[in-house]
């Protein structure tokens, strides 16, 4: 902890019990100390900061009023849960957040009893909370369940599915809508505009007239609350909001940084709550830290930074990111083909489509956090002759699987999937690892599945996807910087289902799919040092497979290593099945698949995750020697 921090009250809080012992008049100071501590902690590690800064007062108020962990508190996404971690016994450990062996950057059940539900992906909190509320009701426990969800997360269909169900069940559930008018980027969509109107008071004023007439029908707790707090009365809006129509009692908008507003409202809800309640809290992302408040992304995610200046320390890169190469290549192609359109789900910067949006604002669609919709929306565009590119992180594409199957693949629609963050992503850990895309795309009839082994390949794959009209096509590429290869001026259209050989040998063959190719070439060098003549090939396609190439590698080598940065069930599984079906294993070929292990790998640096999974240079060499049999390395070394 920084010796310059003065946090006399926070120092006394080892758990929310301690917080609840303090008089309400101390809570403002607790919040100030908590904010300073949060900034100090994240400045040392990097991580998600803006969202946490915005919920400091809300976090203090919730823990002061509710009986956590008996009352269940769920943070949607969980990236804003850092202040919650500090107040729930993890203050010291916060100095390790997202580091190997340290705290997770999200809420995590195994980490604390104060985290009743893990997350990382958005918009799950209301569903999970409803399950807990119903269980509590069935058990007769009558504890409270509170789900805190952001305005960005509120754009996903799942939130409405949950509210629809909660309203019908009349469940005792508290949803706190943390409205900071920001997603990662400024939010888009009609829902966001609706919330803005509620906050600005336009909708509020007309509804208030109606509310006046309804006052005598208000439940007792609302009248009581209104009597007790003048501010609350002023901020109270009842009847007629979308949330009311869904069966929630709507309270708000409330200033989420003013404890004099938050505390009485939360107490009222706690003491008299009987059905679903939605408390609309207005906050500022980045609140209380000027560099965050001033930045465009409100310091959503930051690397280590200087607390005084806010300057972040970004490591110097020798090559552009894959994301940038994808975006630039797509912009280049879109200049030549006006049917190309680009879609992302609330991730303009992350997917690189901010660049595309600058060049083609009318051909760029931010659909909000709505991956399922993004895919079917793209399918609709494809039916009309457009060439939609859905740019999405591998992990978030998982959300849209039925849409890929039912809306795209069965109808053979040429939707192009640009799958970013494929493979280990490092600090965000298992919720964000891009592990499963190859495995879930390959079984789909007619789907073309590619992976880029460097940024030049990525450029070719963008061009290939533009040219391919027969059905859906995907290409995956990792988080971070490229390998530094020379880039072609423009990509070429790749021959469908054809790989390439980079180095020819006779004893060992390494067939790599995607990002591990550089390590495969390095491992081949090591193997040559042992006198093992090694072939290295880049498969490019997991579907259709290059049958000719696979047969050649299988027939003319003793060992075949299948390498990919993805879960088992992906590329290697496809090749193994192909080998088995075509009798290519019958002569005793020693095939070894190298994939991610069958476990959710905890956060660490991507390099450490790759190494721990045996997908690095040394891991590949080891796999070859294991295939050749015990003692092979010793004999060859001698
Ligand atoms: C399903 C899914 N899609 C995308 C993301 C990436 N993501 C993380 S936080 C975030 C913005 C969330 O906005 P909001 O809920 O308003 O929270 P805030 O950061 O404003 O507090 C997005 C798009 C995600 N975590 N999950
Ligand atoms: C919380 C969340 O889902 C995003 O903020 C994510 O952490 C972004 O990851 P990248 O840093 O890879 O864009
Ligand atoms: Mg928000």
In the chain, the domains with their CATH numbers are: 10-302 (3.40.50.970), 322-476 (3.40.50.970), 500-637 (3.40.50.920)
In the chain the first and final C-alpha atoms are separated, in Å, by 53
HSE-up (13 A, CA, CB side) for residue 594? 36
The DSSP secondary-structure symbol of 109 reads: T
Kindly give the interhelix angle for 259-272 and 220-228, rounded to the nearest 10 degrees.
Answer: 150
Give residue ranges with CB within 6 A of ligand 1: 51, 77, 79-80, 121-122, 150-153, 180, 182-184, 285, 345-347, 369, 371, 396, 399
Nearest CA to ligand 1 atom 4: 369
pLDDT, tens digit, 9 for 90 and up, residues 533-557: 999 999 999 999 999 999 999 999 9
Q: Which atom of ligand 2 is nearest to the CA of 78?
A: 1
CA-closest candidate to residue 58, choices 122, 123, 148? 148
- Asked if residue 153 lies in contact with residue 162, where contact means CB atoms within 8 angstroms, the answer is no
CA of 77 to the centre of ligand 1 (A): 6
Other beta carbons less than 10 A from residue 189's beta carbon:
18
pLDDT of residue 218: 44
Contacts of residue 186, defined as CB under 8 A and 6 or more positions apart, other chains included, come to: none
Other beta carbons less than 10 A from residue 468's beta carbon:
18
Cα four-point dihedral sign 49, 54, 60, 65: negative
- Whether 481 has a binding-site annotation, put simply, is no
Other beta carbons less than 10 A from residue 241's beta carbon:
21
pLDDT of residue 205: 43
What ipTM does the predicted assembly reach? Answer: 0.99
HSE-up (13 A, CA, CB side) for residue 590? 13
With a cut of 50, list the residues of the chain below it in pLDDT. Answer: 204-218, 224-235, 238
Contacts of residue 383, defined as CB under 8 A and 6 or more positions apart, other chains included, come to: 411, 413
pLDDT of residue 234: 38
What is the side-by-side order of every strand in the sheet holding 541-543?
A: 364-366, 340-344, 387-393, 416-420, 473-476, 448-451, 541-543
pLDDT of residue 231: 36
pLDDT of residue 240: 63
Residues paired with 420 in a beta bridge = 393
pLDDT of residue 634: 72
- Whether 122 has a binding-site annotation, put simply, is yes
How many residues can be counted in the chain? Answer: 638
Q: Are strands 301-302 and 364-366 parallel, antiparallel or unpaired?
A: unpaired
pLDDT of residue 591: 98
Question: Exposed (0-12), middle (13-18) or buried (19+): which is 93, by Cβ within 10 Å?
Answer: middle
């Amino acid at each position: 902890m920084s010796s310059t921090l003065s946090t006399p009250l926070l120092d006394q809080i080892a758990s929310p019990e301690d917080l609840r012992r303090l008089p309400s008049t101390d809570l403002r100071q607790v919040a100030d100390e908590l904010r300073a501590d949060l900034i100090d902690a994240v400045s040392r590690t990097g991580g998600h900061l803006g969202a946490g800064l915005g919920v400091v007062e809300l976090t203090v108020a919730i823990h002061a009023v509710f009986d956590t962990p008996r009352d269940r508190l769920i943070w949607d996404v969980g990236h804003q849960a850092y202040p919650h971690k500090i107040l729930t016994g993890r203050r010291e450990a916060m100095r390790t957040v997202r580091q190997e062996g340290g705290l997770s950057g999200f809420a995590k059940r195994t980490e604390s009893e104060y985290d009743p539900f893990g997350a990382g992906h958005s918009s799950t909190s209301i569903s999970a909370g409803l399950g807990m509320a119903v269980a509590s009701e069935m058990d007769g426990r009558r504890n409270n369940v509170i789900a805190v969800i952001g305005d960005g997360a509120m754009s996903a269909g799942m939130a409405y599915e949950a509210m629809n169900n909660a309203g019908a069940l009349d469940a005792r559930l508290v949803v706190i809508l943390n409205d900071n008018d920001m997603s990662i980027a400024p939010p888009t969509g009609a829902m966001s505009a609706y919330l803005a109107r509620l906050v600005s008071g336009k909708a509020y004023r007309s509804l208030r007239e109606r509310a006046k007439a309804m006052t005598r029908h208000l439940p007792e707790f609302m009248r009581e609350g209104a009597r007790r707090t003048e501010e609350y009365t002023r901020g109270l809006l009842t009847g007629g909001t979308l949330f009311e129509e869904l069966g929630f009692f709507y309270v708000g908008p409330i200033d989420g940084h003013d404890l004099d507003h938050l505390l009485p409202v939360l107490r009222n809800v706690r003491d008299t709550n009987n059905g679903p309640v939605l408390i609309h809290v207005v906050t500022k992302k980045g609140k209380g830290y000027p560099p965050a408040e001033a930045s465009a992304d409100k310091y959503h995610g930051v690397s280590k930074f200087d607390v005084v200046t806010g300057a972040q320390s970004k490591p110097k890169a020798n090559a552009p990111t894959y994301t940038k190469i994808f975006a630039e290549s797509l912009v280049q192609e879109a200049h030549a083909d006006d049917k190309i359109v680009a879609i992302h789900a609330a991730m303009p910067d992350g997917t690189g489509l901010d660049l595309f949006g600058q060049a083609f604002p009318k051909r760029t669609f931010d659909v909000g956090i709505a991956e399922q919709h993004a895919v079917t929306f793209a399918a609709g565009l494809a039916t009309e002759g457009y060439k939609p590119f859905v740019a999405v992180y591998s992990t978030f594409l998982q959300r849209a699987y039925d849409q890929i199957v039912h809306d795209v693949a069965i109808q053979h629609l040429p939707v192009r999937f640009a799958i970013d963050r494929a493979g280990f992503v490092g600090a965000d850990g298992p919720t964000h690892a891009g592990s499963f895309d190859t495995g879930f795309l390959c079984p789909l009839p007619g789907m073309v599945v590619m992976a880029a082994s460097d940024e030049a390949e990525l450029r070719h794959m963008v061009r290939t996807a533009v040219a391919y009209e027969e059905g859906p096509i995907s290409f995956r590429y990792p988080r971070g910087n490229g390998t530094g290869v020379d880039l072609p001026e423009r990509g070429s259209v790749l021959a469908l289902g054809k790989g390439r050989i980079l180095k020819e040998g006779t004893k060992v063959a390494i067939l790599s799919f995607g990002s591990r190719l550089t390590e495969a070439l390095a491992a081949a060098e090591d193997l040559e040092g042992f006198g093992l003549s090694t072939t290295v090939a880049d498969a490019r396609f997991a579907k259709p497979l290059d049958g000719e190439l696979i047969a050649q590698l299988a027939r003319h080598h003793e060992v075949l290593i299948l390498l990919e940065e993805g879960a088992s069930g992906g590329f290697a599984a496809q090749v193994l099945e192909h080998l088995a079906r075509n009798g290519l294993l019958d002569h005793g070929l020693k095939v070894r698949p190298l994939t991610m292990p069958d476990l959710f790998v905890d956060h660490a640096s991507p390099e450490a995750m790759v190494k721990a999974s045996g997908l690095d240079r040394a891991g590949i060499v080891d796999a070859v020697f294991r295939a050749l049999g015990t003692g092979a390395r010793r004999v060859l070394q001698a």
